[in-house]
Amino acid sequence: MKAGILTLSDKGARGERVDLSGPALTEWLRPRGVETAAYEMIPDEMGLIADKLAEWADSGALDIILTTGGTGVSPRDVTPEATMQILERVIPGLGELMRFRSLAKTPSASISRAVAGIRGKTLIVNLPGSPKGAVENLEAIWDAVPHAVAKIQGDPSDCAV
């Protein structure tokens, strides 16, 4: 499986903050057989985010795109809105599961607005901006991810086991 990791951070894009979440996700994915084939850090600008997500998904080179950052409630947190602009189908259960599992660790999980969905044959998932939160949220949904990617890409096998 090939992944793209898109980090959203105004300060990071200006060189004022080092991205720790993107590398943490790359390290977590590697032993699971997932190669990070694309990585970029851009500012919290809705148009830039939507354009990059569409470009990566439409390239056909990535099975999954993970965003990190911009899922909260501050005025610059626009990742879910940018993602919704380009999704063809939403998968509400992934965001719900991330929030549910995160609530056991922090009450602020209830204000996460992360979404997940499909564009073309690519799964796109919004994750929190902190390294710990990003990895914990990916862990929360990982059991479903390989199956979801296979189905998105046309796996005809039955889902029931």
User: In terms of Cα–Cα distance, which of 61, 58, 66, 55 is closest to 25?
Assistant: 66
Q: Which residues contact 74 (CB under 8 A, 6 or more apart)?
A: none
pLDDT in the model for residue 158:
79
Q: Which residues contact 96 (CB under 8 A, 6 or more apart)?
A: none
Residue spans per domain, the chain? 2-152
Q: Flag residues of the chain having pLDDT under 50.
A: none
Q: What's the pLDDT tens digit per position in 84-130?
A: 999 999 999 999 999 999 999 999 999 999 999 999 999 999 999 99
The dihedral region occupied by 70, where left means phi > 0, alpha psi between -120 and 50, and beta the remainder, is: left
Q: How far apart are CA 80 and CA 67, in angstroms?
A: 10
User: In terms of Cα–Cα distance, which of 101, 157, 89, 151 is closest to 127?
Assistant: 101
pLDDT in the model for residue 161:
57
Amino acid code (one letter) for 63: D
Structure tokens at 20: 């720790």
CATH architecture of 2-152: 3-Layer(aba) Sandwich (3.40)
pLDDT in the model for residue 159:
73
What H or E segment, with its residue span, contains residue 94?
helix 92-103
pLDDT in the model for residue 157:
85
